[in-house]
Amino acid sequence: MVKFGKHPDRDMLALAVEAGLKAINDTGQPDLKVDGVYVGTAASGQFCVMENTGPMVAEQLGLLPCEAVRIENTTASGSTAIKEAFRAIAGGFLDTALVVGVEKMTHLPLEAATKVIASCMTHPSTETVHGATMPALAAMFARKYLAKFDLSTKYMSMVAVKNHENALLNPYAHLQKKISIDDAMNSPIVADPIRVMDCAPISDGAAAVVLQSGKSAAKSSKRPVKILGMAHSTDRQLFYQREGDGVSIGALKVASQKAYHDAQLTPKDIDVAELHDAFTILEIVESEDVGFFNKGEGALALEEGRTQIQGDMPINTSGGLKARGHPIGATGAAQIVELVWQLRGEAGPRQVQGARTGFACNFAGFGNSAIATILQVR
Amino acid sequence: MVKFGKHPDRDMLALAVEAGLKAINDTGQPDLKVDGVYVGTAASGQFCVMENTGPMVAEQLGLLPCEAVRIENTTASGSTAIKEAFRAIAGGFLDTALVVGVEKMTHLPLEAATKVIASCMTHPSTETVHGATMPALAAMFARKYLAKFDLSTKYMSMVAVKNHENALLNPYAHLQKKISIDDAMNSPIVADPIRVMDCAPISDGAAAVVLQSGKSAAKSSKRPVKILGMAHSTDRQLFYQREGDGVSIGALKVASQKAYHDAQLTPKDIDVAELHDAFTILEIVESEDVGFFNKGEGALALEEGRTQIQGDMPINTSGGLKARGHPIGATGAAQIVELVWQLRGEAGPRQVQGARTGFACNFAGFGNSAIATILQVR
């Protein structure tokens, strides 16, 4: 990974290349031959006037000739790129692939960046034109969820406090600042009841992973981590049109159930998880939808400390999107990097002791597209 | 396919959806279940302020729940999307996928569209900033090639004449206008020796294909067409840095050789081909690089009429990029649609008699990324 944050002096390509080089070096394979490069970026054209990022990253890393492509699935671009590479290797088309998730966003004025994000995440004719922004959608969802389970907004703030604490232990996190529950609860309103401290920041950053066939991965100096399940589900764009109870993310339920099925595991087998907390309410909701806690009990589990690093179901040890930051195309790859570090015992002061099986969910839009991944160390 | 051309009254999504619907209907499977949607588009964000095209197309076609993603590889986005879907099916991850290639470009002023194209096709710090445009690169390449083989520019014009003639027989083509060799040779200079009639137009359009496992494809009312080989190779962005003789497209040689190898065929087995004639010189060069003719003999084969519909190696029966048009993300998918029509005997007045095996090449940048595909009808 490249440290997430503001990188005013570096362009998108430089961030992607640094992350890619680190991932390659991490294999400890001096003769590594990369057959495919997959770059996940949500809106490199609009943010950086640069398309064609796959070939450019491959070239700058000296990996040519190989094949190179860019994958876009908005805020799930990073994990979707990993999925495409995973399938190419599992299907026998490639042996080794480099996946880089990257986004550079902070150089744009806030209003311009927000418009680009809206063009990624909201529907042009039924949401964007009416001014629907991501915080507005999150606010409506949070109101419904909190009302349904008779919860106060304090629980959302508790997610922020926990994730900021975790980020203090993560040198790659954007926001390295301890906050109190009062800081969070008194931060300015963005879209009632969503406050500044309920929102992931706009960040620059890149994260990368090398995927290999089992045979080649065995040559690594580090312990290989295996993808046991990786599933993708897309639901309707407009939340109100989706099936379900209105307080869940349906696509995530479908994707996670499929990932558990493929891995032949259950939520009880998961030791550490990275969830998509673009807004704090989402960490609570997702912790239920992926099966860690019963519906409506995520907030209680959070309050009891079960999702802390020392708890029985640690979530977002990296600081999550909330505090590690959210360079949108990079996020899905960064989640996998954090899990790999955790499963190899390389997470330093934020290490979950004995973690062997990890779970990540990365999603796009307001949850209309979800990718669930289950990893296990050998 | 949607007819390529100018569609001022329809947005990108409408074009993609129409093409997708036609492809679905073409299967004749009333209970078709699509597991994955792959949208290939080069720069939907910059052209149309719309990312997230995969889920939007899937939703509008009523295909949810499924998985949906957008694939970007500039002017090879359409074929790269097909490649990703092909691998997902061949690897057993999906049974049926819809691939849509789409681009909407003509609504932008020419200068703005040209800038977007440059951001897709040229390197930002080593080409774009110096004013390198695609016609400029093509001009330098054409000069070198023509000098090396002592050829006049008349051969480039002959490609334009042939492809305009073919397009007159294709109701989906953008430029349906017969031109004479004098028309082509006297058209205005864009970048010497490239003239207007050597350049593909800027177009709007979409093309789509349904990919299925063999078992499911057998249920189609139409004869299934099999992908025998599909290979992708990426080379360096800057032409002068590439290895080779300077008058070939190296990535295309690598990709086509791999595709022949996978298909266990040779160029002699190909009955009909769609090549990437973004500039007329490229059709001549590619007809050599993919093995149809010896190096330096493509122009002679063209002059002898061998690449005409009635010739022994028909090329660009659709009209090619030159006359069918070039909505960049749609082109690779349109090539495959034309081959499918040819192999099924559905190409009407431009039918190549007895065509059973087809070849397509689609590339990105000035040939830095190439996809070669070999199809065969059962």
Chain B residue at shortest CA distance from A229: B93
* CA–CA min distance B119, chain A (Å): 5
Is the peptide bond preceding residue A188 cis, with omega within 30 degrees of 0?
no
Across the interface, whether the CB atoms of A65 and B233 are under 8 A apart is answered yes
Chain B residue at shortest CA distance from A84: B84
Across the interface, whether the CB atoms of B90 and A88 are under 8 A apart is answered no
Which amino acid would we find at residue A120? C
Write out pLDDT tens, residues B74-123: 999 999 999 999 999 999 999 999 999 999 999 999 999 988 998 899 88
- Chain B residues in contact with A119 by the CB 8 A cut-off are 45, 49-52
Q: CA B16 to CA B77: how far, in whole Å?
A: 14
Which amino acid would we find at residue B82? I
* CA–CA min distance B375, chain A (Å): 18
Across the interface, whether the CB atoms of A364 and B55 are under 8 A apart is answered yes
- Say how many CA atoms lie within 13 Å of B352 toward its Cβ: 28
Burial (CB < 10 A; 0-12, 13-18, 19+), residue B12, is: buried
Tokens of B371: 């996809």
Across the interface, whether the CB atoms of B72 and A93 are under 8 A apart is answered no
Which residue of B67, B83, B116 to mutate against A (max A Cβ within 10 Å)? B67
Do A80 and A371 meet the contact criterion of CB atoms below 8 Å apart? yes
Work out the percent of chain A whose per-residue pLDDT is above 90: 92
Chain B residue at shortest CA distance from A83: B88
Spell out the residues 6+ positions from residue A230 whose beta carbon is closer than 8 angstroms to its own.
A82, A83, A86, A259, A262, A371, A372, A373, A374
Chain B residue at shortest CA distance from A85: B84
In which residue are the tokens 């926001």 written?
A175
Q: What is the pLDDT of residue A124?
A: 80
Write out pLDDT tens, residues A36-47: 999 999 999 999
Q: How many CB pairs under 8 A join A and B?
A: 166
Burial (CB < 10 A; 0-12, 13-18, 19+), residue A22, is: middle
Please give the average per-residue pLDDT across B138-152, as a whole number: 97
- Chain A residues in contact with B65 by the CB 8 A cut-off are 233-235, 250-251, 254
E strand or H helix at A227: strand A225-234
Which residue of A51, A71, A86, A363 to mutate against B (max B Cβ within 10 Å)? A51
Work out the percent of chain B whose per-residue pLDDT is above 70: 100
Across the interface, whether the CB atoms of B45 and A50 are under 8 A apart is answered no
What 8-state DSSP symbol labels residue A200?
A: P
Instruction: Point out the residue among A56, A69, A365 whose CB comes nearest to the CB of B52.
Output: A365
Across the interface, whether the CB atoms of A235 and B123 are under 8 A apart is answered no
* CA–CA min distance B296, chain A (Å): 25
Which amino acid would we find at residue B171? P
Please check the confidence at residue A225 and state whether its pLDDT lies above 90: yes
Across the interface, whether the CB atoms of A69 and B67 are under 8 A apart is answered no
Do B20 and B66 meet the contact criterion of CB atoms below 8 Å apart? no
Q: SS3 of B145, please?
A: helix
Q: What is the pLDDT of residue A133?
A: 87
Which residue of A52, A66, A105 to mutate against B (max B Cβ within 10 Å)? A52
Write out pLDDT tens, residues B11-49: 999 999 999 999 999 999 999 999 999 999 999 999 999
Q: CA B12 to CA B26: how far, in whole Å?
A: 21
What 8-state DSSP symbol labels residue B223?
A: P
Write out pLDDT tens, residues A248-273: 999 999 999 999 999 999 999 999 99
Work out the percent of chain B whose per-residue pLDDT is above 90: 92
* CA–CA min distance B18, chain A (Å): 18
In which residue are the tokens 């203090």 written?
A168
Please check the confidence at residue A91 and state whether its pLDDT lies above 90: yes
Which amino acid would we find at residue A15? L
- Closest Cα to residue B346, out of B308, B319, B317? B317
Residue B212's alpha-carbon distances to A79, B101, B216, B227, B348, in angstroms, are: 24, 17, 6, 10, 25
Across the interface, whether the CB atoms of A251 and B49 are under 8 A apart is answered no
Instruction: Point out the residue among B42, B50, B87 whose CB comes nearest to the CB of A88.
Output: B87
Q: What is the pLDDT of residue B198?
A: 98
- Say how many CA atoms lie within 13 Å of A78 toward its Cβ: 33
Q: CA B75 to CA B364: how far, in whole Å?
A: 5
Please check the confidence at residue A131 and state whether its pLDDT lies above 90: no
Instruction: Point out the residue among B50, B71, B92 whose CB comes nearest to the CB of A69.
Output: B71
Q: What angle do CA B154, B114, B195 make, to 5 degrees?
A: 15
Tokens of B213: 């496992």
Q: CA A287 to CA B287: how far, in whole Å?
A: 56
- Chain B residues in contact with A70 by the CB 8 A cut-off are 71-73
Chain A residue at shortest CA distance from B90: A91
Across the interface, whether the CB atoms of B72 and A73 are under 8 A apart is answered no
Please check the confidence at residue A203 and state whether its pLDDT lies above 90: yes
Q: What is the pLDDT of residue A7?
A: 98
In which residue are the tokens 């397009």 written?
B167
Across the interface, whether the CB atoms of A236 and B64 are under 8 A apart is answered yes
Write out pLDDT tens, residues B310-350: 999 999 999 999 999 999 999 999 999 999 999 999 999 99
Write b or e for each residue in B128-167: b if 16 or more Cβ atoms lie within 10 A of its Cβ, otherwise e: beeebbbbbbbbbbbbebbeebebebebbbbbbbbbbbbb
Chain B residue at shortest CA distance from A42: B51
Chain A residue at shortest CA distance from B243: A65
Query: For residue B303, how many other CB atoms are within 10 A of its CB?
Result: 13
* CA–CA min distance B92, chain A (Å): 8
Across the interface, whether the CB atoms of B46 and A42 are under 8 A apart is answered no
Across the interface, whether the CB atoms of B55 and A116 are under 8 A apart is answered no
Q: What is the pLDDT of residue B247?
A: 97
Q: For chain B, what is the mean pLDDT?
A: 96
For residue B127, name the pLDDT band (cuts at 50, 70, 90). confident
* CA–CA min distance B266, chain A (Å): 21
Across the interface, whether the CB atoms of A46 and B50 are under 8 A apart is answered no
Please check the confidence at residue A87 and state whether its pLDDT lies above 90: yes
Across the interface, whether the CB atoms of A93 and B88 are under 8 A apart is answered no
Across the interface, whether the CB atoms of B65 and A234 are under 8 A apart is answered yes
Across the interface, whether the CB atoms of A45 and B365 are under 8 A apart is answered no
Q: SS3 of A319, please?
A: coil
Q: What is the pLDDT of residue A240?
A: 86
Write out pLDDT tens, residues B220-239: 999 999 999 999 999 999 88
What 8-state DSSP symbol labels residue B350?
A: G
Write out pLDDT tens, residues A342-372: 999 999 999 999 999 999 999 999 999 999 9
What 8-state DSSP symbol labels residue B73?
A: B
Write out pLDDT tens, residues A102-127: 999 999 999 999 889 988 998 888 88
Please check the confidence at residue A98 and state whether its pLDDT lies above 90: yes
* CA–CA min distance A147, chain B (Å): 28
Burial (CB < 10 A; 0-12, 13-18, 19+), residue B296, is: middle
Spell out the residues 6+ positions from residue A231 whose beta carbon is closer than 8 angstroms to its own.
A254, A255, A256, A257, A258, A259, A262, A371, A372
Pairing of strands A194-195, A67-72: unpaired
Please give the average per-residue pLDDT across A118-137, as a whole number: 87
Q: SS3 of B283, please?
A: helix
Instruction: Point out the residue among B52, B74, B88 whose CB comes nearest to the CB of A51.
Output: B74
- Chain A residues in contact with B50 by the CB 8 A cut-off are 119, 124
Assessment of whether the complete model's pTM goes beyond 0.90: yes
First to last CA, chain B: 23
Q: What is the pLDDT of residue A378?
A: 81
Across the interface, whether the CB atoms of B69 and A237 are under 8 A apart is answered no
Which amino acid would we find at residue A72? E
Across the interface, whether the CB atoms of B74 and A52 are under 8 A apart is answered yes
- Chain A residues in contact with B261 by the CB 8 A cut-off are none
Q: CA A205 to CA A10: how far, in whole Å?
A: 10
Sign of CA dihedral B260, B266, B270, B276: positive
Q: What is the pLDDT of residue A128?
A: 82
Chain A residue at shortest CA distance from B119: A50
Q: CA A120 to CA B52: how far, in whole Å?
A: 6
- Chain A residues in contact with B236 by the CB 8 A cut-off are 59, 64
Please check the confidence at residue B124 and state whether its pLDDT lies above 90: no
Query: For residue A257, how many other CB atoms are within 10 A of its CB?
Result: 18
Pairing of strands A36-40, A67-72: parallel
Q: What is the pLDDT of residue B315?
A: 98
Do A73 and A251 meet the contact criterion of CB atoms below 8 Å apart? no
Write out pLDDT tens, residues B156-208: 999 999 999 999 999 999 999 999 999 999 999 999 999 999 999 999 999 99
Which residue of A234, A237, A362 to mutate against B (max B Cβ within 10 Å)? A234
Q: What is the pLDDT of residue B129?
A: 84
Q: SS3 of A212, please?
A: strand
Chain A residue at shortest CA distance from B44: A45
Q: CA A73 to CA A364: how far, in whole Å?
A: 7
Q: What is the pLDDT of residue A333?
A: 98
Instruction: Point out the residue among A42, A56, A91 whose CB comes nearest to the CB of B123.
Output: A56
- Say how many CA atoms lie within 13 Å of B304 toward its Cβ: 10
Q: What is the pLDDT of residue A129?
A: 84
Write out pLDDT tens, residues B290-319: 999 999 999 999 999 999 999 999 999 999
Q: What is the pLDDT of residue B282?
A: 98
Chain B residue at shortest CA distance from A258: B93
Write out pLDDT tens, residues B270-281: 999 999 999 999
A206 pairs with which residues across the strands? Answer: A102
Q: What is the pLDDT of residue B131?
A: 82
